[in-house]
Amino acid sequence: MLSTNPHRNCCIRPAPLGYNAPRGVALSEDKIIAIYPGSFDPVTNGHVDLIERASKLFDRLIVALLLNPEKDPLFTVEERVEMLKEAVKPLANVEVDTFGGLLVEYARRKRARVLLRGIRAVSDYEYELQMALMNRQLQPEIETVFMLPAEAYSYLSSHLVKEVAQLGGSIRDLVPPAVEARIRAKVKSSQ
């Protein structure tokens, strides 16, 4: 099927921006900047899998930790940022940042054209769809791109990792090593 696509041999990058640039979004040359927003409490191998895939697709990827006082996180913002930075260290075009307020406003300030989100199972879809459409309503020039993790991570969530750790189960294959050590320490200090 793919081979019948007349665009198959075309360059998959869009035409250089700046020319015909959509109004309202400041664009930086023809570089495609993507933002991967989330709570990352803590970052898991599923997040890292997605980050690695996206770092190959986009020129720059900003992993943006949402400052959300309504949630009751296990790790502080500083701890979560440190763990994320450690996890993305090998990837030269990936950086870590924090943001508050509207995601599309933050994206506009960063000159990003893409919002990256992960979809694990059908259960993620409804919420993600709602959010993507709302963001499109707020800022039509910014596209939400969904990516799938490797199958092995499609059941993995930060929430589950915390639960397993608290119950004494092994989380070795679920999170980066530095994260495993920190969760262990947290669980120990809370017992």
Ligand X SMILES: Nc1ncnc2c1ncn2[C@@H]1O[C@H](COP(=O)(O)OP(=O)(O)O)[C@@H](O)[C@H]1O
Query: Looking at the annotation, which residues are catalytic?
Result: 47, 71, 120, 158
CB atoms within 10 A of CB 136: 15
**Residue 46 touches ligand X, criterion: CB under 6 A:** yes
Beta carbon of residue 106, minimum distance to ligand X (angstroms, whole number): 13
CB nearer to ligand X: pick between 27 and 75? 75
Please identify, among the stretches 4-12, 41-49, 76-84, 135-143, the one whose residues bind ligand X according to the rule CB under 6 A: 41-49
Q: Rounded to whole angstroms, how far apart are CA atoms 120 and 45?
A: 13
- Residues facing 66 on adjacent strands: 99
* SS percent in the chain: helix, strand, coil, step 5: 40, 15, 45
CB nearer to ligand X: pick between 26 and 152? 152
Query: 7: which DSSP letter?
Result: T
**Residue 124 touches ligand X, criterion: CB under 6 A:** yes
Look at residues 67, 156, 79, 75 and name the one whose alpha carbon lies nearest to residue 103.
Answer: 67
Q: Given candidates 28, 39, 93, 144, which one binds ligand X under the rule CB under 6 A?
A: 39
Query: 185: which DSSP letter?
Result: H
Rg (CA), the chain: 18
**Residue 135 touches ligand X, criterion: CB under 6 A:** no
CB 26 within 8 A of CB 69: no
Binding mask 158-177 for ligand X (x = CB under 6 A): x-------------------
Contact residues: ligand X, CB under 6 A? 38-40, 44, 46-47, 50, 117-118, 120, 124, 149, 153, 156-158
